[in-house]
Amino acid sequence: MYKILKAEKLADKIYLMDVEAPRVAKHCQPGQFIIVKMDEKGERIPLTICDYDRDAGTITIVFQEVGASTVKMAELKEGDSFCDFTGPLGCPSEFVEEDIESLKNKKMLFVAGGVGAAPVYPQVKWLKEHGIDADVIVGAKTKDMLILEKEMEAVAGNYYPCTDDGTYGHAGMVTTKIEKLVEEGKKYDVCVAIGPMIMMKFTCLLTKKLEIPTIVSMNPIMVDGTGMCGACRVIVGGEVKFACVDGPEFDGHLVDFDNAMKRQQMYKTAEGRAMLKLQEGDTHHGGCGNCGGDN
Amino acid sequence: MADVLKRVPVREQDAKVRATNFEEVCYGYNKEEAMEEAGRCLNCKNAKCIQGCPVSINIPAFVSKVKEGDIEGAYEVIGESSALPAICGRVCPQESQCESKCIRGIKGDPVSIGKLERFVADYALENDIKPKKAEKTNGHKVAVIGSGPSGLTCAGDLAKLGYEVTVFEALHELGGVLVYGIPEFRLPKQKVVKKEIEKVKELGVKFETNVVIGKSTTIDQLMEEEDFEAVFIGSGAGLPMFMGIPGETANGVFSANEYLTRSNLMKAFDDSYDTPIAAGNKVAVVGGGNVAMDAARTALRLGAEVHIVYRRSEAELPARVEEVHHAKEEGVIFDLLTNPKEILVDENGWVKGMKVVKMELGEPDASGRRRPVEIPDSEYEIELDTVIMSLGTSPNPLIASTTKGLETNRRKCIVAEEENGQTSKACVFAGGDAVTGAATVILAMGAGKAGAKGIHELLSNK
């Protein structure tokens, strides 16, 4: 069992938890992810690592309620436990392996959308710890949905919050902020964009035009997360890759986002039915004719 | 008096009924049937059947115990050679191993050795007969990577010799391919696999789940930081292969591994579990091995019309005859000498069909089987909503790429000696699919035994 040492609601439908997982905490690096399973009958849910404390043996995860399983997960409190917690999985971010001195000569821009701020944070923090200041754009729908602001500000070189509705920071999508910074004369050697698929797609379209090499972190459907099932196939540069072992980070200019977005729809209806069953509980008696609620 | 040339038939669930449920197909023998069948054994002096068994079970000895009605005694005999008899009795290809050597088989049916083994093992599980444990530990620590057939066997053998064994498993459940790959209707998980693993635990073996070696820690760290003196790698062959044809990333295309993992490990067939599975209405399973049969029969039970699409003819199907027979009985349709060319995709990214081509058999190839060649202008389309690719698997490179000095071959298999599992790295042994590529449960168990022997030779001389 993996104990939850802290459980906190960061924003509407977004939660943070510190989980005791010494083996994972000892070996994880920025860019990697974990798989969590709530109980015997739960799904294996891949989540990016938001932070880690090697001494305390803990991992910080941040997740958003998107389906029945994450809604259930959000109900867990401090002191509760996850039945299973596996990791670290996937490859670390490329820069972790790079020569620090040459890295210091690169200007890096991080672009986070929504909960994407969580996986961006440990990368920016790692760079800060190695004496490198990176610029960070974090976008959210509205002010209340911005997460990890204080933490991000503390480790970022320049921190640029954006809101779609203009309630805070730059008004508009993250892409308009990138354009603005470049127009103002900022030069970037590398961009790392993590967030919803659609946000990564448009960021990549823009950075391709601006000729900034861009890395994205893919979060496709997964089952085992160790290379066994192939559910997480993504097309990168015309080749099929497994996000769990070859990624999750890839060259964003080579990723086929349209295919990736279609693949994410695979279980949408099953997910919807599971959600309905969860919300309506015993009062759900079918009617949809599909979900087995009438059995 | 029954015809001594014929084996005692085994009771099975009716094909029509079982095609709609996940209960075990074969009921197995009861004690009377088992004793009657055991009576057919000629108790040969120079027993060929033992040579046919990858773990050299003393078959005539256990069969005579069954004949006498001493089932506990029979279990003891099997236990000397096999840690997982309830599993082997179900999934071993006995027809090409022990039973193929049986003298009874020359004139009539060979003795049903597999079904007898299963009966003995099930009796031991039901009556909670404990395996014999080492009297005391010898203080040597051994790590086993992977809790599949080779790892469990190696761990069990070493524990019996007094070693302190810890098994590391990447997934949340113990058993490897026994739980994620082989379906419930062939190998019940609670009733058989879990109980069989309990017996290995009773020998003193420790298990740690959710540890991905190569990620959560490495082999070098296990030896340097956690004081393991030797390591056995039984990590299996887990990476699925795809064909590389257009449309393979469409929604509704699965590897057999994914499909089976969802249904077997995550229990997606059971509504009370959260993991979904796209059951499909019309499913094609591409391939002809045991895994293809498992995937086809799973899809059938989830309510689909299922076609096996295989490029050679029935004679070349690599699956066990029994599995093919069961699949046919249940209503799986075999489209033989047929090869996929392209998966057809609708505007929303879902599978809508498959373009296939008719094949004929040409000259024998390197494997000795006649090579299938395309018949010109024989392409046609079939309507489908699900395609399951069952083309084999290869070893996961995770361990090899994170262990210094561990040699692999061209096929990414770990190089290891057959007789003792020794790899190119000192104190590291390997066996099972990680070494051979995808093979059978019993061959992996044989390799686990060899690895245990190798580790014992190394550490007992220390």
Render pLDDT for A226-273 as a digit per residue (tens, 0 to 9).
Answer: 888 888 899 999 989 998 889 899 999 999 999 898 888 877 666 556
| Nearest residue in B to A67, CA atom | B274
Q: What pLDDT, on the 0 to 100 scale, is given for residue A270?
A: 62
What percent of chain B is predicted at pLDDT more than 70?
100
**Taking all residues of chain A, what is their mean pLDDT, rounded to a whole number?**
89
Provide the ipTM: 0.85
User: Is residue A58 predicted with pLDDT exceeding 90?
Assistant: yes
Residues in Cβ contact with A232 at an 8 Å cutoff, skipping those fewer than 6 apart: A218, A220, A221, A222, A225, A242, A243, A244, A247
- Minimum-distance CB partner of A227 among B238, B252, B266: B238
- Mutate which of B168, B194, B216 to test chain A, going by most A C-beta atoms within 10 A? B216
CA neighbor of A200 nearest in space, from A270, A110, A132: A110
Ranges B167-171, B175-179, B394-398: which has the least confidence: B394-398
Q: What pLDDT, on the 0 to 100 scale, is given for residue A294?
A: 34
Q: Return the H-helix or E-strand segment holding B322.
A: helix B321-330
Q: What pLDDT, on the 0 to 100 scale, is given for residue A275?
A: 60
- The encoded tokens of residue A243 equal 């996000």
What percent of chain A is predicted at pLDDT more than 70?
91
* pLDDT band per the 50, 70, 90 thresholds, residue B406: very high
Q: What pLDDT, on the 0 to 100 scale, is given for residue A292?
A: 39
- Minimum-distance CB partner of B249 among A87, A263, A270: A263
Q: Determine whether B45 is exposed, middle or buried from the number of CB atoms within 10 Å of its CB (0-12, 13-18, 19+).
A: exposed
CA neighbor of B102 nearest in space, from B151, B59, B135, B141: B59
Cβ proximity of A267 and A274 under 8 Å: no
Q: What pLDDT, on the 0 to 100 scale, is given for residue B82?
A: 85
User: pLDDT digits over A125-182, tens only?
Assistant: 999 999 999 999 999 999 999 999 999 999 999 999 999 999 999 999 999 999 999 9
Q: What is the mean pLDDT of residues B374-389?
A: 95
Distance separating alpha carbons of residues A224 and A239, to the nearest angstrom: 21
Distance separating alpha carbons of residues A199 and A150, to the nearest angstrom: 23
* pLDDT band per the 50, 70, 90 thresholds, residue B129: confident
| Dihedral sign, Cα of residue B82, residue B83, residue B88, residue B93 | negative
Q: What pLDDT, on the 0 to 100 scale, is given for residue B189?
A: 92
Cβ proximity of B264 and B182 under 8 Å: yes
User: pLDDT digits over B188-207, tens only?
Assistant: 998 899 999 999 999 999 99
User: Is residue B433 predicted with pLDDT exceeding 80?
Assistant: yes
Distance from CA of B13 to the nearest CA of A (A): 24
What percent of chain A is predicted at pLDDT more than 90?
73
* pLDDT band per the 50, 70, 90 thresholds, residue A285: very low
3-state DSSP assignment of residue B276: coil
Q: What pLDDT, on the 0 to 100 scale, is given for residue B279?
A: 77
3-state DSSP assignment of residue B388: strand
Cβ proximity of A69 and A43 under 8 Å: yes
Q: Is A262's CB within 8 Å of B251's CB?
A: yes
Q: What is the mean pLDDT of residues A67-87?
A: 92
Distance from CA of A75 to the nearest CA of B (A): 16
Distance separating alpha carbons of residues A219 and A196, to the nearest angstrom: 9
Distance separating alpha carbons of residues B372 and B379, to the nearest angstrom: 15
Start-to-end CA span in chain B (Å): 59
CA neighbor of B319 nearest in space, from B241, B243, B242, B392: B392
Q: What pLDDT, on the 0 to 100 scale, is given for residue A132?
A: 93
Distance separating alpha carbons of residues B15 and B18, to the nearest angstrom: 5
Greater model confidence, B93 or B229: B229
Q: What pLDDT, on the 0 to 100 scale, is given for residue A277?
A: 61
Distance from CA of B195 to the nearest CA of A (A): 17
**Taking all residues of chain B, what is their mean pLDDT, rounded to a whole number?**
92
User: Is residue B142 predicted with pLDDT exceeding 60?
Assistant: yes
* Residue B418 CA, distance from chain mean position: 19
CA distances from A207 to A187, A249, A282, B283 (A): 12, 16, 50, 42
Q: Is A86's CB within 8 Å of B274's CB?
A: no
- Mutate which of B169, B179, B209, B210 to test chain A, going by most A C-beta atoms within 10 A? B210
* pLDDT band per the 50, 70, 90 thresholds, residue B451: very high
Buried b / exposed e across A228-245, counting CB within 10 Å, b at 16+? bbbbbbbbbeeeebbbbb
Q: Given the DSSP bridges, would you call strands A45-53 and A58-64 parallel, antiparallel or unpaired? A: antiparallel
pTM: 0.89
User: pLDDT digits over A176-228, tens only?
Assistant: 999 999 999 999 999 999 999 999 999 999 999 999 999 999 988 889 888 88
| Residues in chain B whose Cβ is within 8 Å of chain A | 170-172, 180, 209-212, 215-217, 238-240, 242, 244, 248-252, 254-255, 257-258, 261-262, 265-267, 271-276, 278, 348-349, 396, 398
**Side-chain half-sphere exposure of B409, counting CA atoms within 13 A:** 12
- The encoded tokens of residue B55 equal 């773990």
Distance from CA of B36 to the nearest CA of A (A): 42
- Cα Rg for chain B, rounded, in angstroms? 23
Residues in Cβ contact with B89 at an 8 Å cutoff, skipping those fewer than 6 apart: B114, B115, B116, B117, B118, B119, B120, B121, B122
CA distances from B237 to A251, B31, B196, B292, B414 (A): 28, 38, 22, 16, 11
- Opening angle at CA B95, ends B89 and B99, nearest 5: 80
